[in-house]
């Protein structure tokens, strides 16, 4: 039971990290677009 919950936790952690990276890249792109205008 503990092993299964651990793998699920790491999978959720990975998704969370990917989401944070996507959000940071999106905000950077928006800042660059605003600077060009």
Instruction: Assess whether pLDDT exceeds 90 at residue 26.
Output: yes
pLDDT tens by residue, 1-25: 456 677 888 999 999 999 999 999 9
Structure-token match 């928006």, residue found: 30
What value does the mean pLDDT take over residues 26-35?
A: 94
Q: What is the pLDDT of residue 35?
A: 86
* Angstrom distance (rounded) from CA 23 to CA 15: 12
What value does the mean pLDDT take over residues 25-34?
A: 95
Alpha-helical regions (H) of 1-37: 2-36
Q: What is the pLDDT of residue 11?
A: 92
What residue ranges do the domains of the chain occupy? 1-37
């Amino acid at each position: 039971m503990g092993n299964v919950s651990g793998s699920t936790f790491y999978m959720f952690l990975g998704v969370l990290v990917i989401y944070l990276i996507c959000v940071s890249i999106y905000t950077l792109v928006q800042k660059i677009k605003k600077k060009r205008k």
